[in-house]
Every structure is written in C-alpha cells, then in structure tokens.
Amino acid sequence: KTSKMQYYNNPMWPGEAHSLKVEKILYQGKSPYQEILVLESSTYGNVLVLDGIVQLTDKDECAYQEMVTHLPLCSIPSPKNVLVVGGGDGGVLREIARHDSVETIDICEIDQLVIDVCKEFFPNLSIGYKDPRVRLHVGDAVDFLRNSPEGKYDAIIVDSSDPIGPAQALVEKPFFQTIARALKSGGVLCNLAESMWLHTHLIQDMLAICRQTFKGAVHYAWTSVPTYPSGVIGFLLCAKEGRPVNFLTPVNPIEKIQGATKAGKELRFYNSEIHRAAFVLPTFVRRELESY
Ligand SMILES: NCCCN[C@H]1CC[C@H](N)CC1
C-alpha cells in the first residue's frame, strides 16, 4: 500500500497530488519503459496512468487531444503529411483523421504495450488506428527522425508523457533540430509544454531552444485539462521558416472540414474561437516569457 507521502514526491509537481475515486483496477502491468495502469474511475471514465502520472481520462481527453492536433493543423492551409511522436493511445490519430487534406499519418510510439492496452480499454481513442492513412512505427522517435528524409512533414505533433522517463530526450535541443530537419519549409511543430503554474523554467528553456531552432513564429498556448497537475497544460507551436504562419488565426478552420465528424465522434472541445483564446496569456506568464 503506497503511503500518502509518496504521492507528494513527483519532482515535476512536488507537494501536490490529485486524487480520483476508483471503482476498479482494470489493468496493471510493466513494459520495458514504464508501469502501466488502467483504472475505472467513478466520475472520469477510464483513466490511463503511466509511472503514476495520469495521461488521459475518457471524460477530459478531448481537451488535450483536440487542441494538440488542431492548433497546428488548422494553422496551415492544407496539411498532407503528418507525424505523431508518442501518442500511442491513438487519440491524436483520431483527431488528425478529421482533416481530409491529410494523405499520410506516421506515428512513432516507443511502447507497444501502451498501444495494446489502449486498444483494449480506450476504444474511443484507439479508433484512430483504423484510419487507412496511419502507418505505425514502434521505436525511439529520436532514431526515427534521424532516419527520416529531410523536409517530409507539413506538421509534427509531439504527444509525449512528461520529460521524466522515456520522454526525457524530447525536450532537448538535438531532438528539436531533428524535428526542424524533418519538417517542410513552413512546416509546423506542436509540442507538449507543461503548466504555466508549475514549469516556468522548463517553458523558458524550451522557448529559447525553439526560437533558435525554428526561424518562423514560436508561440506558447494553453488549455484546461482538469486531471493534469494544476488543471492546465501548455503547447509550444513552432513554424519552420519558408512560409508565413500565423498561429493566432486559423487559416484552415476545422468547422469547415467535412471530416469533422468522420472520426466517429463530433468535436467536443476545439473550435476556432478557443483556438485564438489558447494563445492569450495571463499577465504573469507574459512577463515570465517575454524575453525568451
Ligand atoms: N496522449 C495523452 C496525453 C499525454 N500527454 C501528457 C500526459 C501527462 C501530463 N502530465 C502531460 C501531458
């Protein structure tokens, strides 16, 4: 039985913990990379937990998966080739599938067990794998990107876990450089960028690296996800030079996209107004990020 104190020891959010009432433990296992737990909660549906950290719940996954996907894909006129780094649950694949302009969807997930578990316990997310445009690569994204041809992707979405564990390398400069090389000119990256309440230094470091690596626009955006620490999560939107990209006004509004309902479920969170709102920052965040 884990003592209460252990819950407060995660270095990413020391001294705080989030609790959910659990009806049943649906799965408990360990892959070569992480501990995997699936819980049936009383009020948030099924919950995926990796190394003790909530990755997603049925109730609020729409906020994260829709924003991490449509903030980049609605910012360029007609994305064709898209890469997902991580994202083994399939939720981002489900969201990309709404865009009819997309021709190929590559996904590089390191942990096969996460894929298998999500196919069993999260059918509303793993539905994403059913799209014929999806090509799954199980392995390390650092190697995958190093071997990717230059200038292949219109958009790359890094849907990773927190940078403590298998996703550690995904916030370091060499990784961002391999992403920039794999993007077409004017291509866009959307990267997980943690919480404005908890991770100012990490966000500042990532902003500094991205401004050096991507000569186009670089913006921090955020959204509400109740089951993530501090109840919000951030995204870093980066554009490679070569074409003007204005992240703040969607050029490819999802409401106009026929595929909007194709993914078997209507959008539940994203729309063009919340796209614009995501880039509006509280005053303390503007101050903390302005010189980065
Ligand atoms: N694909 C599910 C979302 C994975 N993203 C992360 C989960 C853990 C959080 N602390 C940060 C986002």
R_g (Cα) of the chain, nearest Å:
18
Closest ligand 1 atom to residue 229 Cα is 10
Quote the ligand 1 centre to 242 CA distance (angstroms): 31
What does DSSP say about strands 183-192 and 153-159: parallel, antiparallel, or unpaired? parallel
Return all residues near 6 (Cβ < 8 A) that are at least 6 apart: none
CB 225 within 8 A of CB 231: yes
pLDDT in tens, 45-92: 999 999 999 999 999 999 999 999 999 999 999 999 999 999 999 999
**Residue to mutate (ligand 1; options 84, 228, 232; most atoms within 8 A of CB):** 228
* Residue-level pLDDT at 265: 75
- One-letter amino acid at 72 equals P
255 or 121, higher pLDDT: 121
* Residue-level pLDDT at 56: 98
Backbone angles phi, psi at 173, to 5 degrees: -55, -45
Ligand 1 contact, 166 CB (< 6 A): no
Quote the ligand 1 centre to 185 CA distance (angstroms): 28
CB 71 within 8 A of CB 275: yes
Q: Tell me the C-alpha distance between 39 and 22, whole Å.
A: 7
Which of 161, 135, 143 lies closest to 54, judged by CA?
161
Specify whether 159 is catalytic: yes
Ligand 1 contact, 288 CB (< 6 A): no
* Tokens linked to 133: 């445009």
pLDDT at 183 over 80: yes
Ligand 1 contact, 64 CB (< 6 A): yes
pLDDT at 5 over 80: no
pLDDT at 260 over 80: no
**Residue to mutate (ligand 1; options 124, 162, 230; most atoms within 8 A of CB):** 162
Ligand 1 contact, 161 CB (< 6 A): yes
Ligand 1 contact, 118 CB (< 6 A): no
CA nearest ligand 1 atom 1, residue:
87
CA nearest ligand 1 atom 3, residue:
55
- Which is catalytic among the residues 89, 154, 159, 162? 159
pLDDT in tens, 217-256: 999 999 999 999 999 999 999 999 999 999 999 998 887 7
Backbone angles phi, psi at 116, to 5 degrees: -65, -45
pLDDT at 187 over 80: yes
Ligand 1 contact, 162 CB (< 6 A): yes
* Tokens linked to 266: 């209507």
